């Protein structure tokens, strides 16, 4: 029973990380119906930026400052990529933008690889401690991951459903062609979407790097793609779907490793995607798109 509870805690914290990354995929898809395949690599870069900041900062930066800096830097990079690489292709066929996104991802991961060909150890950002809750070992880091992710998700949900920006974001997702008639600059809304979506991915990268403290340039592909799968399982384009998908994937991974040989993990999670998509082709919370005539 304690073993089960222990695994559940691990599954929740991993699920939160997948959800946090998946949000970036799903937000961009929601406004542009495009998969930002560079998102996983920006997630990876989040961990590296954190490493750089910790290594080269003359003063020890406290965790909240590090988190905000990473989010702003990665978010800004996301905005820049959209501006330079995706916006010129806005009217081009979707596949051109998707290929460009893959290209951007390759540039980011290979640049990182050329600078840091080996895996790096992530230094401790703060003093991590284990404590015992009813026989279950929980680390401060896990509590932090869960707390920060939860706060970011609640914040995002409020932003989308309560704020002016959220209203405009939902309008763009519904009918971007009519939005300018409200006096709203669609480009500004899209830039902000990238800032927030990739910023969350950067935060996830930093938290992931702290909890699995060996980071490498290939992390974006390994972890980022799984988060993409999570977003698809939940229903891409749907914010709550990304969170749900993250939890499902996190749970399946942790419990397949706990009960079966660990090499089965990816086989099981990818099979799960295929099975879910057979029955729910648009994901669990996704809906078939409205085809406008």
Give 274 or 293: the residue with its C-beta nearer to another protein.
293
Q: Stretches 53-61, 66-74, 165-173, 250-258: which one binds another protein (CB under 8 A)?
A: 165-173
Our measurement of the distance from residue 29's CA atom to the centroid of its chain's CA atoms, rounded to an integer in Å, reads: 13
Q: How far is the CB of 179 from another protein (least distance, A)?
A: 8
Of 64 and 183, which CB lies nearer to another protein in the complex structure?
183
The separation between the first and the last C-alpha atoms of the chain, rounded to the nearest angstrom, is 56
- Residue 289 touches another protein, criterion: CB under 8 A: no
Give the containing element (helix H, strand E) for 121: strand 120-121
Rule CB under 8 A: say whether 123 interacts with another protein: no
Q: Is 55 in the site for another protein (CB under 8 A)?
A: no
Which one of residues 136, 159, 171, 257 is an interface residue with another protein (CB under 8 A)?
A: 171
Q: Whole-angstrom Cα distance, residue 225 to residue 275?
A: 17
* Residue partners of 209: CB distance under 8 A and separation at least 6: 46, 47, 48, 50, 51, 122, 215, 219
Contact region with another protein (CB under 8 A), list: 60-68, 106-114, 142-150, 176-184: 176-184
Name which position in 66, 138, 173, 206 contacts another protein (CB under 8 A): 173
Residue among 111, 140, 180, 260 that touches another protein (CB under 8 A): 180
Contact 251, 291 (CB under 8 A): no
Is residue 124 a contact residue for another protein (CB under 8 A)?
A: no
Please report whether residue 164 would count as binding another protein according to CB under 8 A.
Answer: yes
Does residue 178 belong to the site contacting another protein (CB under 8 A)? yes
Which of these segments, 37-45, 54-62, 160-168, 277-285, binds another protein (CB under 8 A)? 160-168
Check: CB of residue 99 under 8 Å from CB of residue 83: no
Is residue 168 near another protein by the rule CB under 8 A?
yes
Question: Could you say which of 59, 181, 288, 291 contacts another protein (CB under 8 A)?
Answer: 181
Q: Determine, following the binding rule CB under 8 A, whether residue 159 of this chain makes contact with another protein.
A: no
Tell which one of 12, 167, 277, 284 touches another protein (CB under 8 A): 167
Q: Which residues contact 147 (CB under 8 A, 6 or more apart)?
A: none
Long-range contacts of 137-146 (CB under 8 A, 24+ apart): 137/6, 138/9, 141/210, 141/211, 142/9, 142/10, 142/13, 142/211, 144/63, 144/207, 145/13, 145/16, 145/17, 145/207, 145/210, 145/211, 146/12, 146/13, 146/16
182-221 residues near another protein, rule: CB under 8 A: 182-186
Total residues binding another protein (CB under 8 A): 18
Catalog residues that contact another protein under the rule CB under 8 A.
164, 167-168, 170-171, 173-175, 177-178, 180-186, 290
């Amino acid at each position: 029973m304690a073993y089960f509870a222990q695994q559940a805690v691990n599954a929740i914290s991993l699920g939160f990380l997948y959800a946090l990354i998946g949000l970036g995929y799903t937000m961009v898809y929601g406004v542009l119906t495009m998969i930002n395949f560079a998102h996983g690599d920006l997630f990876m870069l989040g961990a590296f930026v954190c490493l750089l900041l910790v290594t080269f900062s003359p003063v020890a930066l406290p965790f909240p400052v590090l988190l905000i800096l990473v989010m702003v830097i990665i978010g800004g990079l996301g905005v820049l990529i959209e501006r330079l690489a995706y916006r010129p292709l806005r009217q081009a066929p979707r596949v051109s933008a998707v290929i460009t996104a893959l290209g951007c991802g390759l540039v980011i991961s290979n640049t990182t690889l050329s600078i840091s060909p080996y895996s790096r150890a992530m230094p401790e950002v703060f003093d991590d401690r284990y404590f015992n809750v009813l026989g279950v070992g929980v680390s401060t880091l896990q509590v932090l991951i869960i707390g920060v992710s939860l706060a970011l998700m609640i914040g995002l949900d409020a932003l989308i459903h309560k704020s002016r920006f959220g209203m405009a974001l939902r309008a763009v997702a519904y009918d971007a062609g009519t939005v300018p008639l409200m006096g709203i600059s669609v480009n500004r809304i899209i830039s902000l979407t990238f800032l927030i979506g990739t910023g969350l991915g950067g935060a996830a990268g930093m938290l992931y790097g702290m909890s699995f403290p060996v980071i490498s340039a290939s992390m974006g592909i390994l972890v980022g793609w799984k988060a993409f799968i999570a977003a698809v399982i939940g229903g891409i384009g749907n914010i709550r779907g990304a969170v749900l998908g993250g939890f499902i994937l996190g749970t399946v991974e942790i419990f397949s490793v706990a009960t079966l040989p660990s090499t089965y993990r990816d086989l099981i999670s990818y099979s799960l995607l295929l099975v879910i998509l057979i029955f729910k082709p648009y994901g669990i919370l996704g809906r078939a798109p409205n085809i406008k005539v």
